[in-house]
Amino acid sequence: MPTDRKWLLFTVVATGVFMATLDSSMVNIALPTIMREFQSELHTTEWVVLVYLLTITATLLVWGYLGDRLGKDRIYPGGMLLFALGSLACAESHTLTGLIAARCGQALGAAMMMANGPALIKQTFPPDQLGRSLGLIGVAVSLGLMSGPTLGGVLIEFYSWRAIFLITVPVGFVFFLLARLAIPATERPSAALRFDWPGGFFWSLALLLFAFTITHATATDWSLPFLALLLAGAVAALAAFVKIEATTPHPLLPLHLFAQPFFSAAVVSAAISFVTLFAVIMLTPFYLDRILGLTSSRIGVVMMAIPLAAMVVAPVAGRLSDHIGARLLSTAGLLLSATGLLLLADLTAAATPKQVAWRLALMGVGQAMFLSPNSASLLGRVDRRYASASAALLATARNLGMLIGIAQSGLVFSLTFSRATGGLDMKDFTGNASAAFMQALATAFHVAAAIGVLGALVSWHRGKPLPPVRHTP
């Protein structure tokens, strides 16, 4: 592919990543405002974020499969267009239920891009540039996460939370057209394969039941036996999915790839890294809003510390991974993230924004050290036949980690806060409950830190790195 077209394609993929992360980071900042407008409880409000992650996680494998069968040149631009239309629907929503439904449509478009973007990068750039190019994609991720809090905070404070969705609409339409031009026609298989609909159904069902179980564990109108029934249903659906994938001729998820340590460690540790990150992204805005009393724009500035640090470190980590592999970098990154969580757990109600920001920056450095080396270690070693499926699975792992991170941190926080206040929810917060809030926040961050240490152990056991790839002219 000519160099100019190669970088045009890179720009299209990077913009899709940027839009998705920009939207996510702005919505997280908006949660306290959305909760006030709709007078909703925490376990209901968080579904504005959860339904987005759940939809992406449930459909990424599907879109990765369809990208291989129908062509990435069809799926990726379609995702860009659907994301723009979903953003417009979110901005026009006037009920919490409507907003959640619109976020589901928006997430379908994001999943179409996420499932095929890394595979497009892999097929476009030579092997010795893979880590570098993925590191630059990490910069796009960081820019989206970095500009999202600041831009979102300003829009929310001076306009409305609806504006955070409107700004991505024109960008989506323009880059839909560019994607049609930049992405070359993909070779289609000569014979169509039967799609694994049963596997897709049970995978989605397992995720949905699990998400409902963990997010509604503190809801007063949901009984313990009903929650146990939901959890049992999730386990049964997951078992059915594994059985189907192990026996079907053309599985949605090639389970045999997990027999390779580099593959299983990369996928599992990717999920864990986002569990830790999104525990912070979920709860910290509430701390800055409820305890420190910051405005939306100042909350955005403080939260920008994570992506700003990641933007600086991601390209360096990507380049290093081309030479020394992912084992040391990714493991150290997860340990650094766990350290950041422990430091955040030590915050008090009298902390300054600067004290919060440098702790968040430490989290950003750790995540950047982990992400691009981990992605390169998987995509650089997997067979070309499974490139799209592997990229989709890696993105699925990340989004599953986000989903679990938000759900489990919200659950731990809500249980601790309710116990300390005699049954109150976050929407009932007053200044008298500050001590209970800080206790709940510290508990949630300690749990997330423990999960991060587990992820570091998994990352370390990915096996020895391959020798650096030498590019032959």
pLDDT at 451: 95
Domains in the chain: ranges and CATH: 3-182+197-460 (1.20.1250.20)
Q: What share of the chain is helix, strand, coil (3-state, %, to 5)?
A: 80, 0, 20
Percent of the chain with pLDDT over 90: 25
Lowest mean per-residue pLDDT among 172-176, 240-244, 246-250: 246-250
- Taking 70 as the threshold, does the pLDDT of residue 225 lie above it? yes
Q: Single out the residue of 118, 132, 121, 122 nearest to residue 320, CA to CA.
A: 132
pLDDT at 471: 38
User: What is the four-CA torsion angle of 363, 368, 369, 372, rounded to 10 degrees?
Assistant: 150
pLDDT (average), residues 265-294: 90
Amino acid identity, residue 59? T
- Taking 90 as the threshold, does the pLDDT of residue 398 lie above it? no
Q: Which residue has the tokens 């941190």?
A: 409
Contacts of 358 (CB under 8 A, 6+ apart): 305
* Residues across the chain: 473
Lowest mean per-residue pLDDT among 81-85, 112-116, 234-238, 388-392: 388-392
**Mean pLDDT, the chain, as a whole number?**
82
Instruction: List pLDDT tens digits, range 340-364.
Output: 999 999 999 999 999 999 999 999 8
0.85 exceeded by pTM: no
- Taking 70 as the threshold, does the pLDDT of residue 307 lie above it? yes
- Taking 90 as the threshold, does the pLDDT of residue 177 lie above it? no
- Taking 50 as the threshold, does the pLDDT of residue 470 lie above it? no
**DSSP letters of 7-30?**
HHHHHHHHHHHHHHHHHHHHHHHH
